[in-house]
Chains A and B, each alone.
Chain A
Amino acid sequence: MIDMIEKEDPVISEEEAAQYDRQIRLWGLDAQKRLRGSRVLLVGLGGLGAEVAKNLILAGVKGLTLLDHEQVHASEESCRAQFLVPVTARGQNRARASLERAQNLNPMVEVHADSDRVEDKPDDFFLQFDAVCLTGCSRDLMVRVDQLCSQRNIKVFCGDVYGYYGYMFCNLGQEHNYVEEKPKLVKPTGNSNDGPEAKKAKVDPNETTMVKKTSSFCTLKEALEVDWTSEKAKAGLKRTPVDYFLLHVLLKFRTDKGRDPDPQSFAEDSQLLRQIRDDVLEALAVSGDLLSDDFTSYCFSEMSPVCAVVGGVLGQEVVKALSQRDPPHRNFFFFDGRKGNGVVDFFGPK
């Protein structure tokens, strides 16, 4: 993919140069050009989806497709949901309702809205994208899309926010190539007889060099199906973020109930969450103590600031992957909004 840059229009317009100035100064022109040539699919336009959409559109990708079959809920207080949907859009499809505001964020990006169910999309639908980002999807769907896409060198990202908690997962393929900028080592030149400054020009101390690197990722299936029964795995549990297990619980809730925990059914859903916790931890053969009852109070609804944090990290990972610059987070990011903790950890076959 590093070679892709030749296919793109080499000239960057004055308008782009002016608008993207502050980010070009950060990640460089090459990275910006790669972004400019990338198409991304974003599934789910809830709170997290809206944040990711904003971040990618502002970054200047070539195209972003918003895919969501859900309607704008009449019951949600319109001010709490997300900022792309106008208050008048109740009952409309969420992707279509988000389109106008999303497009206005950056007219230079091609933004499309699609109201189909992602489950109904044929395999080759996904092949037109360079990266796919799944939010609000069931575990099985994510596993399936991840499988399909990573085989074709399409970067896969998943993410969700549950109250104060959020996560991001990525699969950039078995061989993701990128560059990293390192400072150039200034070797002393000249004879040892010369004075300290010698009679030479001073090297610009700000010179850097680009180093090529590769990173390898596993599938979501592998990441979620880690075996905790081995002695080694058990020993590693102490250093393992419990968020990983919390994720299993929440994904199971979503699969079983077809929705996420709902504040309107707080009592019922809390109880169910605790039950699922017991089942999941038992099935994984880990201690029930890992997740205390606490968590149930704090995983309801998508909290806006948590969407902002997770959406920011996720958005930046998509940018990094598409621009092939800087080491990607491998392969999970977990955010706990109560503690302010954000960790990156790898789950999968060693």
Chain B
Amino acid sequence: MVQLVGSLRKELADSLSTCKVLVVGAGGIGCELLKNLVLTGFKNIEVIDLDTIDVSNLNRQFLFQKKHVGKSKAQVAKESALQFCPTANITAYHDSIMNPDYNVEFFRKFVLVMNALDNRAARNHVNRMCLAADIPLIESGTAGYLGQVTVIKKGMTECYECQPKPTQKTFPGCTIRNTPSEPIHCIVWAKYLFNQLFGEEDADQEVSPDTADPEAAWKPEETAARATASEKDGDIKRVSTKDWARSTGYDPVKLFNKLFKDDIMYLLTMDKLWKKRKAPTPLDWHQLENSACPQEDSPVSGLKDQQVLGVWGHCQLFQQSVETLSSQLQEKGEGAELVWDKDDPPAMDFVTAASNLRMHIFSMNMKSRFDVKSMAGNIIPAIATTNAVIAGLIVLEGLKILSGELESCRTIFLNKCPNLRKKLLVPCILDPPSANCYVCTSKPEVTVKLNVHKTMVLSLQDRILKERFGMVAPDVQIEDGKGTILISSEEGETEANNSKFLSDFGIRNGSRLQVDDFLQDYTLLVNVLHTEELERDVEFEVVGEAPDKAPPPQTNQEEVNSITNGNKDSAQPSTSSKAPAEDDDIMIVDSDEEEGASSSSATAATSGTKRKHSDAETGEASTKRPRTDQLSAAAAPTDDDDDDIIALD
């Protein structure tokens, strides 16, 4: 005789009260999830989040109120949940899940792990920890109106990293420095400029004209000549932007004239660039000042931030923000650096002003601060209802897992509009693990193409092993018969190796590196393929990702919001002092019918990489796009961060 406790069979209800579950993330999905778990009868819940509460969270992270701004999300979420279920046993951790304290043993305490994350680095990491501990993982994501949920079980389903995910979109250096054609290029440039003037100077974030631009040369030999010339051209080029700015006392007018007049005039001398492009027009501060019209004081019916300033308005904004930032820098003292943060008004003002001035120079329509903030800050629009739906689905999948019904688990996609089979929620059968996955197969292996003479050990560690391959603390041994240790995860042990090149250690074409991340219980064999022919701005390539698995060409909307050349969605968590990277990835499913850009599916039908995916009910194939990294949310009319993301509308 069936016995029910509420809606559930008694056996299931009983197991809910004894089992332990882990929720990773207490943001948009996390708050909704915690509520559902508690109301469904889960008694022992642990929740972890490194973030604190921001006012922009309050439109959906309903466990938080205005009075909680600044406090720990995990902690306040726990307290609020206890309000409506005082008998629940909730443990909150204000910490990063990537902290080595949360080792495989920690994960083994749980029968189920549920992700409610907003960045790939953490997802990769939790994926590996759950594989190592052999605990089922429910993965999810939302962006705007779209969302999805899926189940990951070692040996039974694909792991999170089985399908190659498109890496963060980056723009070529010469596009940023010489020939921007879209607002996003100007915004990236402005963020680089911020770092060059006030923050950590990065050789990959140059803002000055790129003389070695291959497009600028009338003859191929010229490019090489220019490249060596700029390397040798001692004095002027060697002085760092920051030093130069300091020498002028951060005089806004002097900075303005260099960046928006002198440098542009230099670009104009590279005439081949402008043969088929509209040439930039340099700005002159004093000219603009003299011809500026007094601002009309029209009643603001919209958001102040959604107004688009005029050129002179941006000049003034540039001046004000430079003055504020330079005095901030001075206050911090010798060797200080500022970190760009979209929620820091002068930093945001600076990027708004600088990017717009550059847009104007390159004949693009200028943008409001609101729009610039979206792009510069990688903001993903987010609402409560999408998160509510996804969190509900997560718990339903969780109940199947706890009932031992893994075969009934599904990947479920939430569309914006019903597909041609009238489905708004589309369940799909889970795929088995991929045979070439470099994470979940028994002996994972990859081949990486790079230049052994030009790749530093530090680059290998940070760019390749951490960013690209998602490791947190890699240990690297060369398979040279001597077991030479190249990189040790112990701090300081192999620091001396950092600036040496791989070839210095005898690494050459065909060399093999054994890479271990002991925390993740993960060993990866890296085959080195030496090459002298990599594309400009490309440091390495992962071989074996066949063209048909390459990410689909992004639509324009995706590109625009795909944002910054920064490490926003690298395998490393964001280094911003405030909220972590506002991104999230979601798999966008397109049913087999074509859908317009305004409908549910994120990308237009330009994908060449649709995979057939069985609709759970009808067995019909529905196409699935590979997970895209960032997609723009439904564009607001003014168009244009946040947890649970990405989807296109």
Contacts and interface: CB of A to CB of B under 8 A. Distances in A.
Interface of A: 10-12, 17-30, 47, 51, 54-55, 58-60, 77-87, 101, 104-107, 163-164, 180-183, 195-202, 204-208, 210, 241, 263, 266-267, 297-298, 300-309, 311-313, 315-316, 319, 326-327, 329, 333, 335, 337, 339-345
Contacts of B386: 312, 316
B181 interface: yes
Given A51-B388, A308-B36, A344-B418, A208 B635 contact: yes
B301 A312 contact: no
Interface in B369-399: 370, 374, 379-389, 391-397, 399
Interface stretch (B82-90, B474-482, B543-551): B82-90
B345 interface: no
A17 B370 CA distance: 11
B642 interface: yes
A300 B392 contact: no
Contacts of A86: 83-84
Most buried by B among A20, A21, A309: A21
Contact of A313 (B5, B301, B424, B640): B424
Interface string B493-515: 00000000000000000000000
Contacts of A59: 59, 383-385
Given A205-B182, A266-B4, A312-B389, A24 B636 contact: yes
A235 to B, nearest CB: 17
Given A60-B59, A84-B84, A205-B560, 6 more contacts: A22-B383, A58-B59, A79-B39, A181-B634, A206-B635, A316-B385
A200 B365 CA distance: 12
A107 B65 CA distance: 9
29 contacts: A22-B379, A22-B641, A25-B633, A25-B636, A27-B634, A58-B59, A59-B383, A78-B84, A79-B84, A87-B84, A163-B7, A183-B557, A201-B364, A204-B364, A204-B365, A205-B182, A205-B557, A210-B637, A263-B5, A263-B6, A307-B392, A309-B425, A312-B392, A315-B385, A319-B385, A337-B396, A340-B427, A342-B414, A345-B422
Interface string B49-72: 000000110111010011000000
B303 interface: yes
Contacts of A302: 7
B385 A55 contact: yes
B128 interface: no
B114 to A, nearest CB: 12
B418 A183 contact: no
B597 A183 contact: yes
A313 B389 contact: yes
Given A55-B384, A183-B597, A205-B556, A305 B276 contact: no
A305 B36 contact: yes
A297 B2 contact: yes
B559 interface: yes
Given A205-B182, A301-B4, A20 B427 contact: no
Contact of B388 (A30, A301, A311): A311
B296 to A, nearest CB: 17
Contacts of A298: 7
B55 A18 contact: yes
Contacts of B617: 339, 341
Given A304-B395, A312-B388, A25 B640 contact: yes
B301 A303 contact: no
A163 B412 CA distance: 20
Nearest to B379: A25
Contacts of B247: none
A86 B83 CA distance: 7
Contacts of A319: 385
Interface in B1-52: 1-8, 32, 35-36, 38-41
Given A30-B637, A297-B2, A17 B305 contact: yes
Contact of B381 (A11, A23, A198, A202): A23
A22 B393 CA distance: 23
Given A25-B381, A263-B6, A305 B40 contact: yes
Nearest to A263: B4
Given A22-B379, A87-B84, A312-B385, A80 B39 contact: yes
B7 A303 contact: yes
A344 B596 CA distance: 18
Contacts of B3: 266
Interface residues of A, dominant DSSP? mixed
A25 B484 CA distance: 53
B276 to A, nearest CB: 4
Contacts of B7: 163-164, 263, 298, 300-303
Contacts of A83: 35, 38-39, 84
B161 to A, nearest CB: 24
A54 B4 CA distance: 28
B417 interface: yes
Contacts of A241: 422
A267 B3 CA distance: 9
A304 to B, nearest CB: 4
Contact of A19 (B58, B62, B412, B639): B58
A309 B379 contact: no
Nearest to B397: A340
Contacts of A329: 418, 424
B86 A87 contact: yes
Nearest to B181: A202
A298 B56 CA distance: 39
4 shortest A-B CB distances, which residue pairs? A342-B425, A308-B392, A26-B381, A205-B556
B234 interface: no
Nearest to A196: B276
A27 B635 CA distance: 8
Contact of B383 (A26, A180, A200): A26
B197 to A, nearest CB: 27
Contacts of A297: 2
Contacts of B384: 54-55, 58-59, 312, 315
Most buried by A among B5, B381, B383, B394: B383
Contacts of B301: 10-11
B455 interface: no
B300 A201 contact: no
Contacts of B41: 79-80
A344 B182 CA distance: 39
Nearest to A161: B7
A40 to B, nearest CB: 14
B410 interface: yes
B393 A305 contact: yes
A202 B182 contact: yes
Contact of B423 (A200, A210, A341): A341
Interface in B594-649: 596-598, 616-617, 632-642
Most buried by B among A82, A83, A329: A83
A104 B62 CA distance: 9
Contacts of B425: 309, 335, 340-343
B292 to A, nearest CB: 23
A88 to B, nearest CB: 10
B302 interface: yes
A180 B302 contact: no
A201 to B, nearest CB: 4
Contact of A303 (B40, B365, B388, B397): B40
A78 to B, nearest CB: 8
Contacts of A164: 7
Interface string B513-557: 000000000000000000000000000000000000000000011
Contacts of B257: none
B560 A182 contact: no
Nearest to B414: A342
Nearest to A262: B4
B470 interface: no
B145 interface: yes
A10 B298 CA distance: 13
Given A205-B560, A313-B385, A24 B396 contact: no
